[in-house]
Structure 1
Amino acid sequence: MNNIKIYFVLIGVMFLWGMNVSAIKLLVSDFMPVTITSIRIFVAAMIVFFILFPLKKVRKPKNREWLYIILGAFLSIFVHHYFISEGLAKTSAANGGLILGLGPMLTAILSIVLLKRKPSIIRLVGFLLGGVGVSFTVLAGSGGIHNASSGDFEVFLAILSQAFSFILIKKASETLDPLLLTGYMLLFGSAMLFVTSLLIEPNGLASLQHGSPFIWLMFIFSAVLATALGNMVYNYVIGQIGAAETSIFLNLSTFFSLIGAALFLKEEILPSHFIGLLLIVPGVILGSGSLEELLIRRKEKLTQHPQKKISL
């Protein structure tokens, strides 16, 4: 697959992920949040294994790999999706989508803190822009710090936990296929969520009886297309064009989440949302190191394949 086709595929995945914010908002509004999230993640896990079995990519993890799977499932699936479901039940999809767009930058910050990497000036500028962008979106969009929603904070915790998990996932993927790792984490994470739902939402399963056909259509979209296929395709593309080039496209999901909130939820998109978007997008590109790595790779390619001089 050439790069042009890959870019179009990535745009499609970002569209799915952006629309998925609105889909999750609808699901957690009609059903008990943790219950429906656990079932949605379980269905996604089954889809991943259904695809991997014919490809003969399913195997039993080795001893140390189990540790990465369990920790990754706890952070990337259980904590991440728990706070997304709870947070989006209390805040707007527009705010949630913008905050979720901070993922690449938070991952870069944690890499600097945990792996003792010295940040460049470009990254520091990116961190500043991203922080100001989210603060402006949450505070100005909600009418000030006194009216800021607890849901915004919970969505932030969701993306922070996922950023922590990326450190583990990177280590685990050295010996375990990322697609298989995704399947195992979805499976164990959904089990953790389901047990939690039985404890805090005793009527959660009963609430599933009242869903409309449209809501269940949103469930299928979210579980099958956005969560299962979206994550598999994204992981595949990382192997094709690299993490730096791929992560730049994550900013599009933030843009699409705003469009989805306006179209499907009839949410009011405030000027503060667009100002926040204009600050967050360059903040993520600079803060995540995507721009730096992209420039370095382009420079290396030019050095390895300089243009031949034409002799007369």
Structure 2
Amino acid sequence: MSRAKIYWMLVAVMFTWGANVPMLKFMGTHVPPTTVTGVRILMAGCAVFIVLKFLKILRKPTKREWGFILVGSFTNVSLHQLFLNLGLAETSATSGGLILGTGPILTAIAAAIFLKYFPSALQWLGLFLGITGVTIAVLVGSEGLDTGRGDFFVFISILSQVLSYMIVSKAARTLDPRVMTAYMMVIGSFGLIAVSLVLEPSGMVQFLDAPPIFWLVFLVSGLISTALGHMIYNYAIGQAGATQSAIFMNLNPLFAMILSSLFLGEILTWRHFVGFLFIVAGVMLGSGAAEDLYKKRKKSRTTPRL
């Protein structure tokens, strides 16, 4: 698959993940967050298994691949989702969004350490511009960051997710990332459900009192944002690499703020749009898209016309 198609797929994934933020906030008003997350990811994992079976690419992992899957389940699903829910319950959306926005730079550092992949100068510039844009957009209207336990939990969440990308990159040499996604989701969801029974003992019962609109949002969030989104993203990691794929994570908080403004009534200002420009520039440079366009234009100019 061409890099352009991979990039557009990543933009679409970031849109669905951004849309998932207001959906998660809404679902959390009816069912405790860890409980709803565990059940939602279990449903998403089952859906991915069905899709892969239909595509005839589902297979039983090898003993070595099971090791990657178990570590990925713990870091990408159980640990990431647990600390994200705990953190967002104790910190502001501004602080949480800013910390989540460090994902691309953390991925670049982790890739250099674990995968021996070192971004080019243009990619480092893209990473810097992207984080600058996230900072400008997220800090609009804030009176400072209230660092505390909630912020620490969110940082643990994004760090565990970044580490899982290293696992996916290594496993992708022999195991289709989409197959790995299915196994990770189902195994990781059982861990979340087990924890929710301790932290939120009455959580499962509250599903019975949820209104119809909750179930609609629950299905959209689980099947599109989680199942389809993570399947495509992990596939992109296998195709484009962890660092280049992570560049697009800068779009996640941007889409989240725009959609939260539409559905939750949050106010957007001109600084959000300035942040947007930085983020787009960062994505173009960091992903290599700008360099590809430059090379194609230069080639078209030097190619003699018949």
Q: Secondary structure at the match of 1:105?
A: helix
Q: Distance in 1 between matches of 2:270 and 2:233?
A: 31
* Paired AA for residue 68 in structure 1: F
Q: Secondary structure at the match of 1:188?
A: helix
Question: Could you say which residue in structure 2 is the equivalent of 1:113?
Answer: 113
Deviation at 1:100, TM superposition (A): 3.2
Deviation at 1:214, TM superposition (A): 1.7
Question: Could you say which residue in structure 1 is the equivalent of 2:76?
Answer: 76
* Paired AA for residue 217 in structure 1: L
Q: Secondary structure at the match of 1:160?
A: helix
Question: Could you say which residue in structure 1 is the equivalent of 2:67?
Answer: 67
Q: Secondary structure at the match of 1:53?
A: helix
Deviation at 1:30, TM superposition (A): 2.8
Q: Secondary structure at the match of 1:30?
A: coil
Deviation at 1:265, TM superposition (A): 1.9
Change (3 A) 1:121 1:3: closer
Q: Distance in 2 between matches of 1:128 and 1:248?
A: 10
Question: Could you say which residue in structure 2 is the equivalent of 1:193?
Answer: 192
Q: Secondary structure at the match of 2:55?
A: coil
| CA offset digits 1:141-180 (Å, max 9, x no partner) | 54124x3465444333322211111111111111111111
Q: Distance in 2 between matches of 1:66 and 1:173?
A: 13
- Aligned positions, number: 305
* Paired AA for residue 35 in structure 2: T
* Paired AA for residue 36 in structure 2: I
Q: Distance in 1 between matches of 2:19 and 2:201?
A: 29
Deviation at 1:79, TM superposition (A): 1.2
Q: Distance in 1 between matches of 2:128 and 2:254?
A: 20
Residues 218-237 of structure 1 aligned to structure 2 (within 5 Å): 218-236=217-235
1:309 aligns with 2:276: no
* Paired AA for residue 17 in structure 2: W
Q: Distance in 1 between matches of 2:128 and 2:224?
A: 34
Residues 1-312 of structure 1 aligned to structure 2 (within 5 Å): 10-91=10-91, 93=93, 96-97=96-97, 99-115=99-115, 121-122=121-122, 124-126=124-126, 128-129=128-129, 141-145=141-145, 147-148=146-147, 150-236=149-235, 242-243=240-241, 249-269=248-268, 282=281, 289-291=286-288, 295=291, 299=295, 308-309=303-304
1:33–1:85: 8 Å Cα contact kept in structure 2?
Answer: yes
Change (3 A) 1:157 1:224: same
Q: Distance in 2 between matches of 1:7 and 1:120?
A: 18
Q: Distance in 2 between matches of 1:95 and 1:235?
A: 26
Change (3 A) 1:137 1:157: farther
Which stretch shifts more, 194-203 or 96-105?
Answer: 96-105
Q: Distance in 2 between matches of 1:137 and 1:255?
A: 7
Gaps of 5+ in 2: none
| CA offset digits 1:197-239 (Å, max 9, x no partner) | 1222222212323322222221111101111112223445667
Identity of aligned residues (%): 43
Q: Distance in 2 between matches of 1:57 and 1:253?
A: 29
* Paired AA for residue 15 in structure 1: F
Q: Distance in 1 between matches of 2:249 and 2:135?
A: 20
Change (3 A) 1:201 1:65: same
Which stretch shifts more, 34-43 or 252-261?
Answer: 252-261
Deviation at 1:26, TM superposition (A): 1.9
Change (3 A) 1:307 1:121: closer
Q: Secondary structure at the match of 1:259?
A: helix
Which stretch shifts more, 24-33 or 191-200?
Answer: 24-33
Q: Distance in 2 between matches of 1:234 and 1:117?
A: 19
Q: Distance in 2 between matches of 1:229 and 1:83?
A: 22
Change (3 A) 1:170 1:309: same
Q: Secondary structure at the match of 2:34?
A: helix
1:142–1:149: 8 Å Cα contact kept in structure 2?
Answer: no
Q: Distance in 2 between matches of 1:290 and 1:29?
A: 37
Q: Distance in 1 between matches of 2:115 and 2:65?
A: 21
2:181–2:234: 8 Å Cα contact kept in structure 1?
Answer: no
Q: Distance in 1 between matches of 2:216 and 2:150?
A: 25
Change (3 A) 1:213 1:104: same
Could you tell me the TM-score, scaled by structure 2's length?
A: 0.81
Q: Distance in 1 between matches of 2:203 and 2:220?
A: 21
Deviation at 1:102, TM superposition (A): 3.5
Which stretch shifts more, 89-98 or 21-30?
Answer: 89-98
Q: Distance in 1 between matches of 2:62 and 2:34?
A: 30
Could you tell me the TM-score, scaled by structure 1's length?
A: 0.79
